[in-house]
Structure 1
């Protein structure tokens, strides 16, 4: 039946901070030439594309839900900045002030009978601060096939109009890149090295966990799922959802507009949703991913 025992906001964050090696990201600012940095960013972008669990949906994040995690000296803060439509924002910075990530993420599912295609609106920015370079990329579409054989894959273009390289391979295996000028081919991504041996986040400071943290919001539901107590899990899930509906009614009755705590949120028809962090840096988190 039931849900994957974690929030979609957590899964969104995991695509950025759960890597087996930090080299994939470090290569982006350590590479010496603009072209080598470009290919490193492509490799890193592919590494954020992860397998999705089939047949088990994560929790829909509640409005204002947060997820604060550190991996080494890189710190991530996510917030559910809109509920209808669902929009998630991510901000990450490191202690050495070499890199910054700002992502805005709005999944839009479309049903086609035998399949479901989820187009992810919003931009992903990777900023190499010391080099004053910003790379802007989109996210491929998630395709869920229902018939004849169930399966999940990523589809759609994710590149600019100027062709410098041709890319071949599979996001869950290896990817090679071919220079269109000289024909040279190089492997830039190996999924086994990046997404195998992943380590789960660990709570280092329980007192530092905010009430809005995903793990806190859904703790009772998750515990019931892990015990396979499906009736209890359903009850706890409904309790979370009913609390959110009550808060929404309270805001409507008082004429209060909900405002994100960590991001400025804006929208226009041309660019869609834009999430701008309110603070320049992200602080170390009470939840850590072992390096």
Structure 2
């Protein structure tokens, strides 16, 4: 293992150019190298190198990494449940897609969703926290036209790990459901994360399309023993719409030993009459569709994209098993570069999870999922989408109640008409939130920690309009919002 130890001490993971930054000084984005650049490297110090060497010494080729404990310095300071929101960073690509008459164009706008979220990533190769059973993350979005989006993700299974998620923007006619079932394997100088699961998209203005199904590319952390540590996406994904007979197969290309570049994609779109065109580009840059006649249109340009910020409740208003509160001590320690405190904080959460599992086993109880339920091999929200009102205002109210109702009511799917309508506060921008509503009710400290949520549904109406923007995942430099439908030329 002497060669292995020497190699890990020499792992490079520091940006080679100080100009590779984004965001203003002091912002969480500061120091982020440009996404997808092969020179995004760092150098581990001796202590980190020796810890990583000890971890790698446990590994064997093809080994499942689910039981390996990673050192805290390789962790991205957020939960996987929050990282899933990256896939929803540009939902405007699909907004009003159901109103487009051409089924090929509808498929292309849905395809843009799976292409658009990967450029958002931390510097180097970082791993988000493994969510614990019952952990959840929820947030809201306010878009430029005042419409709103809502997201909820829950860790519904620990062995095997399964994260279920639900996003909707009722005013824009979009619903996304899905589950992520990551599996990691050691491949020698790389670690592969197999991204099992799928996204399912519904266009509410086009119910006859049924569901669009999207699969995800696999992720590869390269250079963990020697060379440059960097992230690549590989293998193939598919976007299908059986009702329209349109589909798209996308190959995510990894760099070869001798030739090839980084982050390239190539796709083929097919319709009822066969080939309909090709997709080319780079997932951290420009991606285009060219039809059989040679006409091109931009699907997504990561270099000009603006990530819409999330609105998240302050940690002292979150429940104990909401992601940011659950991992608050670990996140603070990582940001302070205190590896000892980070290790202790991580162990505290994981030990608590093991203790809860022992108690359930000894009492004969089973874990009850809060927001999602199994439907065959899928996990769907406990909000029957097929029976909800088709009116966007009614759906908006039902979704708010489902995601943000207090703990005593959140176990049951709410009725779309069970509460009176509230005024729509979404017209204010997320960065300039209204102060007209009542302040958030304080948490009742006499309640059990797991039920420390907003005191009432009316409190949430205030919460979603008055909360300050909290830190989100690092994104690219701000640029103009994407225009829709995709630009044609």
TM-score by length of 1: 0.86
What do residues 239-269 of structure 1 show as CA deviations (whole Å, max 9, x unaligned)?
Answer: 11100000000011111111211111256xx
In 2, Cα distance between equivalents of 1:199 and 1:31 = 24
Bigger shift: residues 113-122 or 161-170? 161-170
Aligned length: 280
Paired residues for 1:271-290 under 5 Å: 273-279=377-383, 280=385, 282-283=399-400
> Do the aligned partners of 2:285 and 2:302 also contact (CA within 8 Å) in 1?
yes
- Do 1:68 and 1:76's aligned partners in 2 also have CA atoms closer than 8 Å? yes
Q: Is the 8 A contact 2:141 2:311 kept in 1?
A: no
State how far apart, in whole Å, the 2-side matches of 1:97 and 1:23 are.
Answer: 8
Among 8, 23, 42, the residue aligned to 2:92: 23
**1:145 and 2:222 aligned:** yes
User: In structure 1, how many angstroms separate the alpha carbons of the residues matched to 2:84 and 2:109?
Assistant: 21
Structure 1 residues 202, 129: closer, same or farther in 2, change over 3 A? closer
Q: Work out the CA distance in 2 between the residues paired with 1:105 and 1:215.
A: 19
Instruction: Look at both structures and tell me which one has the larger radius of gyration over its CA atoms.
Output: 2
Aligned counterparts of 1:207 and 1:7: Cα–Cα separation in 2: 18
Match in the other structure for 1:45: 114
Q: Which residue of 2 aligns with 1:179?
A: 291
- 1:189 paired with 2:300, answer yes
Residue number among 317, 342, 358 corresponding to 1:249 in the alignment: 358
Q: CA deviation at 1:208?
A: 4.7
Instruction: State how far apart, in whole Å, the 2-side matches of 1:50 and 1:254 are.
Output: 46
Unaligned runs of 5+ in 1: 268-272
Which deviations, in whole Å up to 9, do the C-alpha atoms of 1:125-162 show, x marking residues without a partner? 11001211321110011122115432211111113474
The one-character-per-residue Cα deviations of 1:259-284 (angstroms, maximum 9, x if unpaired) are 211111256xxxxx411111145327
Shift of 1:8: 1.2
Please list, as runs of the form range in 1=range in 2, the aligned pairs for 1:1-291 lying within 5 A after superposition: 1=48, 2=73, 3-16=75-88, 18-19=89-90, 23-26=92-95, 28-53=97-122, 54-72=124-142, 73-96=148-171, 98-132=173-207, 133=209, 134-146=211-223, 147-159=226-238, 160=247, 162=270, 163-180=275-292, 182-194=293-305, 196=306, 198=307, 200-204=309-313, 208-265=317-374, 273-279=377-383, 280=385, 282-283=399-400
The structural deviation recorded for 1:205 is 5.7
Report if aligned partners of 1:52, 1:152 keep a CA contact under 8 Å in 2.
no
The structure in which a higher percent of residues are strand is 1
Q: Does structure 2 retain, via aligned residues, the 8 Å contact 1:264–1:275?
A: yes
- Would the alpha carbon gap of residues 55 and 186 (structure 1) be closer, same or farther in structure 2, given more than 3 Å must change? closer
**Residue range with higher mean Cα deviation, 98-107 or 150-159:** 150-159
- Does the Cα contact within 8 Å between 2:277 and 2:291 map onto a contact in 1? yes
1:189, 1:67 → 2: CA distance? 27
How far apart in 2 are the matches of 1:265 and 1:201? 28
Q: What's the CA shift string for 1:50-100, capped at 9, x where partnerless?
A: 354334322110101101100121100100111111110111122437111
CA distance in 2, matches of 1:207, 1:95: 29
Residues 86 and 120, structure 2, Cα contact 8 Å, conserved in 1: no
Higher RCO, 1 vs 2 (CA within 8 Å, ≥6 residues apart): 1
TM superposition shift of 1:34: 1.5
Give the RMSD, CA atoms, in angstroms: 2.5
